[in-house]
Structure 1
Amino acid sequence: MSIQGSCTLVLPLEDSSQVGHARRTAQKMAQHHGFDDEDAGRVALLATELCSNVLKHAQRGELHLRALPVANGVGIELLAVDRAQGFDATACLADGFSTGGTQGIGLGAIARLAQVFDVYTDQRGSVILARVYPRNSACADLRIGVSHHALHDDPACGDTWHVAIDGNRLSALMVDGLGHGPDAEAAAHAGAQAFAADPFVTPLLLIERLHQAMAGTRGGAVAIAQHDTSNSRLTFTGIGNIGASLVGGVHARGLASHPGIVGNQFRKAQAFDYAQVNGNLLVMYSDGLQSRWKLDDYPGLVHRHPAVIATVLHRDFCRGRDDVAVLVVDLEPTYG
């Protein structure tokens, strides 16, 4: 299974007139990916309720949309994001509860409409996740989350990522093409294509193949992580300023990279092995994200879905002056 990087679609929510646009956009995305009318209608209803919830309790926010390729089809991911003062998640999960004082269906009903539902809320704001798969499909959710954005919503994004899964093995790539815009995107895509051609060869060989593929482009920073659930080990190699951490409980350890530019010049690449990683979180991110985040500053966030974690990190630590990509993978005992 191979999952190609794609940017998050962000829809602003500042007044009620934007709810209809969000609903139609989400429904069209579902239909484009083969959802029948009933399942696409479920996506539309979720978009409506999630957007309405943002406007009721936060007055403004965003709806993030993404198509989710999985082994047996495609799902749709919806994330409602705000920067308000949070809410009582337990109370809001009760049907009929509305933060705006109106008759609402409650987050509990939203949770029943989605196959995957999660929420994180504190004084910095809230992120609510709903993932939807066709009712009659055999799609299994992957505990992988991405928040991926071009600077100022530019059509070209110089950051990209790729995830490949083969039985008990996972191989993940993050590439940050130098600068931003079309030339940075061309560099990143050249690297991603070389990775996708054979993602499970050794990371050092992959770095060499990316170096050759990115020659003649601007080049960029690259990080590759490979996890094997059968021996609970992760191998990591990085060139340039891609950030990466393994998070186990409240403890995080940074993953080491060497300086240089893939496609241009670097002195050496080195593979580092990490043992007993099953159950950890792998977090990889471009330098569009500040590196000073700590998940233990967010009580309970480490136990939320990786899509929620990636979105919270983007919301609170995006630098706002470059493309940004955040990839969070739950290193599960099995990917099958």
Structure 2
Amino acid sequence: MTLSGSLTQVLAIEDSSQIGHARRTAQKLAEKHGLDATDAGRVALVATELASNILKHAARGEIHLRVLPRKNGAGIEMLAIDRAQGFDLQACLTDGFSTGGTQGIGLGAVSRQTEVFDVYADARGAVLLTRVYPREDKAADRRFGISQHSLHDDPACGDVWHLAYDGARISALVIDGLGHGEDAEKAARAGESAFAPIPFASPVQLLEEMHIAMTATRGGAAAVAQFDAARDGLTFAGIGNIGACLVTADKSRGLASHPGIVGVQFRKAQPFDYAQVNGQLLIMYSDGLQSRWNLQDYPGLVHRHPAVIAAVLHRDFCRGRDDVTVLVIALEATHG
């Protein structure tokens, strides 16, 4: 099972007229990717409630949409993101409670209509995650999260991410093509094309193959992380400034990359092995994200779904002057 990189679709929610747009956009996305009328209807309902909730307690915010490829078909991810003063989650989940003077049937209904529901809220704002899968799809949710945005909403993005799952193994790639725009995207996609057919080859071989594929481009930074639950270990190799770290509830350790530009010039990549990583978070990010964040500044966030963590980091630490990618993976055995 492989997941190829795609941009996060962002819908601004600032007035009531945008609720209908969010509902229609989410429903069309679900229908386009094969969800039946009932499941697409659930997507529409959830999008409506998320947008309404933003206006009720935050006045403004965003809905982030993403298609989640599955072994058979696809699911739809929707995140509601705001910068308000937070809210009482347990109270909001109780039918009949409202922060906005309405009936307050929203979040409780949302949690019952979705296969995945999670939220993080504090004084900096709230991020609420939902994932809707076809009701007949009984496969487990893959615990990863991705937030990817191009500079100035350019259709071309110089960042690329790619994920491959094989039972107890996960292989993750992040590439940041030099600069931004079409030439940066061309460089990053060339690297991805070399990675995709052989994602579980050694990281050194993968970087060498990407180097060859990216030679005719402007090049970029790249990092590969491979997790094997059976041996409880992770191997990491990076060239350039892709940030990466392993995070637990009480500590974070950075993963070392080497200087150079894939496709232009670098010394032979050196892989690093990390043991006893089962249950930890792997976070990889391009330099469109500031590096000064610390999950310990967000009590309890490390225990939330990886998609919530990725959205919080993007919301609070995006530099705003480059493409940005944040990939968060829960390191645990998966199947299929």
SS in structure 1 of the partner of residue 157 of structure 2? coil
CA distance in 2, matches of 1:195, 1:52: 41
SS in structure 2 of the partner of residue 292 of structure 1? coil
Per-residue deviation at 1:244?
A: 0.1
Per-residue deviation at 1:107?
A: 1.3
Do the aligned residues in 1 keep the contact of 2:92 with 2:104 (CA within 8 Å)? no
CA distance in 1, matches of 2:46, 2:178: 38
Kindly indicate whether residue 186 of structure 2 is the aligned counterpart of residue 186 of structure 1.
Answer: yes
Per-residue deviation at 1:269?
A: 1.0
- What does residue range 139-150 of structure 1 map to in structure 2 within 5 Å? 139-150=139-150
Aligned to 1:232: 232
Deviations 1:128-165 (A, max 9, x none): 00100011223321001000000110000000100001
Output the TM-score relative to the length of structure 1: 0.99
- Percent identical pairs in the alignment equals 71
Aligned to 1:323: 323
Kindly indicate whether residue 85 of structure 2 is the aligned counterpart of residue 82 of structure 1.
Answer: no
Per-residue deviation at 1:71?
A: 2.4
- What does residue range 158-169 of structure 1 map to in structure 2 within 5 Å? 158-169=158-169
Aligned to 2:18: 18
| AA partner of residue 237 (structure 2) | T
Output the TM-score relative to the length of structure 2: 0.99
Do the aligned residues in 2 keep the contact of 1:96 with 1:106 (CA within 8 Å)? no
Per-residue deviation at 1:108?
A: 1.7
Aligned to 1:62: 62
Aligned to 2:307: 307
CA distance in 2, matches of 1:186, 1:250: 39
Per-residue deviation at 1:197?
A: 1.2
Question: Which ranges in structure 1 are unaligned for 5 or more consecutive residues?
Answer: none
SS in structure 1 of the partner of residue 313 of structure 2? helix
- What does residue range 249-260 of structure 1 map to in structure 2 within 5 Å? 249-260=249-260
CA RMSD, 1 decimal: 0.8
CA distance in 1, matches of 2:293, 2:320: 15
Do the aligned residues in 2 keep the contact of 1:74 with 1:133 (CA within 8 Å)? yes
| AA partner of residue 310 (structure 1) | A
Kindly indicate whether residue 333 of structure 2 is the aligned counterpart of residue 333 of structure 1.
Answer: yes
Task: Say how many residue pairs are matched.
Answer: 336
CA distance in 2, matches of 1:249, 1:301: 9
Deviations 1:149-201 (A, max 9, x none): 00110000000100001111110000000000000000000011110011001
Per-residue deviation at 1:262?
A: 0.0
Name whichever of 324-333 and 100-109 sits farther off.
Answer: 100-109
Aligned to 1:197: 197
Deviations 1:25-78 (A, max 9, x none): 000000001111111010000000000000110000000000001223210000
CA distance in 2, matches of 1:4, 1:294: 28
Q: Structure 1 residues 85, 282: closer, same or farther in 2, change over 3 A? A: same
Aligned to 1:153: 153
Per-residue deviation at 1:99?
A: 1.1
Name whichever of 67-76 and 202-211 sits farther off.
Answer: 67-76
CA distance in 1, matches of 2:120, 2:46: 17
Name whichever of 158-167 and 131-140 sits farther off.
Answer: 131-140
Aligned to 2:219: 219
Question: Which ranges in structure 2 are unaligned for 5 or more consecutive residues?
Answer: none
SS in structure 1 of the partner of residue 57 of structure 2? helix
| AA partner of residue 182 (structure 1) | E
| AA partner of residue 30 (structure 1) | A
Do the aligned residues in 1 keep the contact of 2:169 with 2:333 (CA within 8 Å)? no
Name whichever of 229-238 and 105-114 sits farther off.
Answer: 105-114
Deviations 1:198-233 (A, max 9, x none): 100100000000000001101000000000000100
Aligned to 2:39: 39
